Amino acid sequence: MELKFTVAGRIAKPVEEVFEAVVSPDLLSQYFTTGGARGRLKSGVEVTWDFHDFPGAFPVMVLEVIPNRKIVLQWEADQKTSTWTTVTMEFSPLEGGRTLVRISEYGWPETEAGLTSCFGNCEGWTAMLCAMKAWLEHGINLRDGFYR
């Protein structure tokens, strides 16, 4: 069985604003990367994301960016197994100026450690969508103090 998942959520903001909240390191750091993001997401670059609840900044390889439509990333999912997974974020405009964000990730080994990492990342991306919605729609940072 291939280890993979997809999570999705709707945000009551236009697709351009939602997309910018992901590609801009300053905006991403407001609600998701609690230790800061460095580097704008552009095709072919490497950026770093840091989280206070997950020690140390780590590299994020940006494979593809199609403005207001799609972002494809790769990152090391499990430092013990040196496994890189692929993350695809898709942004779809909806009626009323809303946006559907769909995040999929795959690439873990079919092992106990791979399954644990897959579940952990599924939880993390779900939390990211919730945090982005709260921040963009209401100016609330859900991650502030959540993990510490």
Rounded CA-CA distance 60/14 in Å is: 26
Q: Which domains occur in the chain, in start order?
A: 4-138 (3.30.530.20)
pLDDT at 42: 98
pLDDT at position 54:
73
Mean pLDDT of successive 10-residue segments in the chain (148 residues)?
95 98 97 93 96 82 98 80 87 98 95 91 95 97 78
Spacing of C-alpha 69 from chain mean position: 14
Please give the Cα distance from 141 to 125 (Å, whole number). 15
Question: For residue 112, what is the enclosing H or E element?
Answer: helix 112-138
Task: Answer yes or no: are the C-beta atoms of 82 and 95 closer than 8 Å.
Answer: no
In the structure encoding, which two tokens stand for residue 47, read together?
A: 């950026």
Q: Whole-model pTM? A: 0.93
- pLDDT given for residue 93 in this prediction: 98
Distance between CA atoms of residues 83 and 81, nearest Å: 5
